[in-house]
Amino acid sequence: MFGWALLADAVALYPLYALLFADTGLSDAEISLLFAIWSVVGIVAEVPTGALADRFSRRTCLVASGVLQAAGFALWTAAPGFGVFAAGFVLWGLGGVLASGAQEALLYDGLVAAGAQRHYAAVNGRISAAELAAQLPAAGLATLLFPLGGYVLVGWVSVATCLAAAFVASTIPEAPRAPGDDDESGYLDTLRDGLRIAASRPGVPGVVAAAALVTSVDGVEEYFPLLVASWGVPVALVPVADLPIVLGGMAGAALAGRAAGLRAGWLAALLAVSMVLFAGAGIVAHPAGIVGVVLFYGGYRAVLAVTDARLQDRIDSASRATVTSVAGMGADVATIGLYALWALGGVTAVAVTGLLLAALLPALLRAPRP
């Protein structure tokens, strides 16, 4: 699973695709429309693809994810243009949601089969750290390849990387389903059951909402380079200044196992402290504030991993990917709200909303009464 996570995120085209669009001649409005298409595909297809993973095979969904993403990048590289970019985003969006839910279900049920599900938060946190770490070789690879062959070379290497991730995914063991999980029920029955559990099973709707809202906060990562640049860091040094923030997130995710035993109140307190540090960094508005952002991101990523573990603990294997995908769809929608918050009030607006979320977290994570 670690190898798949590294390959899936170490794609050289990631740091450059927005520049590819601009250099192809697309306007800012056209680029924004492409991102909107990508988001809509994710929102619409998230839950249906989760049900596919539950009804058929989580491992196959991971393989298909890499193949579809490779196909999208191949289109971009072979025939760049707005229509082709839009088609590529549809393929990439479908690939992304095929992995969402399936990844968590494959990992959790594999740990259950080994009698080690209590270690899910720790293992998944390390996988999240690996995904963040993959940004570093991706940036380095892009820097190395672009002078040699431009977007074409970067694009084809990215296609190969996605196909390699698909191959590695095909080697991940998939635990046998529990008796009754792989029965004669059809796809629509699987989808309906997952939606019912997410909406009405005691203790599940709250943790689904918590997972969605906490996950959406990660959208703030998109603004880190803009933030440090606004604090006076020269543009040429922004990638260097952004590196400690990425490392902070990696550390927080990797230490999630230590936070897994925290009661909901202490978990909420960790999120609240993280948000206060983030707000403080925004108030300072100085390169020294990067330290506050590092601590915020580390604490937040630990809370994120533990919240996902609480969600997985309350879902049956038969509906695990579907219910996780419901949380993923909620996160996609909430992330749009976070973007609006940032536009209205920047760091302060996001931090205040994060404090409200921290206040709600104990209630959302409350376990059902026996």
Q: What is the mean pLDDT of residues 248-259?
A: 92
**What whole-number percentage of the chain has pLDDT above 90?**
56
pLDDT digits (tens, 9 = 90+) for 120-142: 899 989 888 888 888 788 888 88
- Output the pLDDT for position 179: 53
The yes-or-no answer to whether 1-176 and 202-370 have a common fold is: yes
As a whole number of angstroms, the distance between CA 32 and CA 28 comes to 6
Q: Is the pLDDT of residue 254 over 80?
A: yes
Pick the CATH number of 1-176 from 1.10.10.60, 3.40.50.620, 1.10.287.130, 1.20.1250.20: 1.20.1250.20
In this model, does residue 184 exceed pLDDT 70? Answer: no
| The predicted structure's pLDDT at residue 18 | 82
CA-atom Rg of the chain in angstroms: 20
DSSP for 272-330, please give it: HHHHHHHHHHHHH-SGGGHHHHHHHHHHHHHHHHHHHHHHHHTS-GGGHHHHHHHHHHH
What is the rounded average pLDDT of the residues 69-79?
96
Task: Look up the CATH superfamily of 202-370.
Answer: MFS general substrate transporter like domains (1.20.1250.20)
Mean pLDDT over each residue of the chain, to the nearest integer: 90
329 has a pLDDT exceeding 70? yes
The rounded distance, in Å, linking the Cα atoms of 59 and 181 is 16
* Sequence ranges of the domains in the chain: 1-176, 202-370
The pTM of the full predicted model, rounded to 2 decimals, is 0.85
- Asked whether the predicted pLDDT for residue 41 surpasses 80, the reply is yes
- The CA-atom distances, in angstroms, between 286 and each of 132, 211, 221, 228 are 25, 32, 18, 8
